[in-house]
Structure 1
């Protein structure tokens, strides 16, 4: 994440975006994240959400507007977006949309060390991954279809379409990788390089 950002947690971007609509307290922000399924795109829990809100307030991006009291719930502080926060939201979002960033997914790290595994075991594990990817792909397709049938505009589902495209691309990649790992020349090479170490494990 860009070190220029006073608050670099991506969850902060979601908080700024929701506060663009109206002032809210952290509890309401969390509820909106869940209601709109944005919690699938932003990793958070109650503690991390409150921490990000405090960081944004300290940075001057949001400010306390008022404290709401009622008889059923503890008092809650409403936060509003500042002009500086509005600028940060648009500047950060434009950067993320326009500029590809180097990311370090766990699967990529595992692939860089895949040759350590016995080819047979690697194939078995990747087949299990394929099944999981297919199940997740089906789940997203059904969710998008239900939302579309319910009248949700496509632009509010674009992150799910992106997630689906990434999963489908990974499925194709894993399928080709399984085929490559089963080739006799790779198996022979693996046994030459790693076979003895694996046998002694």
Structure 2
């Protein structure tokens, strides 16, 4: 099986849509756009179709049918293979604990619901250790700078990063509590949104 860590964030999100059911590329693209996932990854038609072709070539998805409506071009429908499902989970497990790839972390967080609650808690625990260490390093650096009477204008970026790390820790600790005390529905206990499954039939962009 291809190395899941080499998947692009777009590839992960396309694979994740197929966990909801078989779809053709246009439908996947429309679904991601309707959910405003263009906040996380660029959603361009050419790149999307190229990525889907690569996922099929790598044995992560498979063609299950071709249909045509009126004079529209044929649409190939794809299904998610077990290797594709495993690849999504492996990628999320690899990226969710990280703090040095913010854009990938956002995608991993968006797809974290594909993992069991206990797995997510454990991964976030690992991430917390990195956040705490990084915050301590920034605070120590600021303390040393003050001792050396370094002008504050040279330290504003470090101050900002320390504040962001502090806020990130507070947010993650709140998420952790809601996962561990069960107040956040998750996985099989989570909400079902069948209305999010399909998008309206519109003329392809």
Q: With the length of structure 2 as denominator, give the TM-score of the two structures.
A: 0.47
Larger Cα-atom Rg: 1
Higher RCO by CA contacts (8 Å cutoff, separation 6 or greater): 2
Bigger fraction of residues in helix: 1
Q: With the length of structure 1 as denominator, give the TM-score of the two structures.
A: 0.48
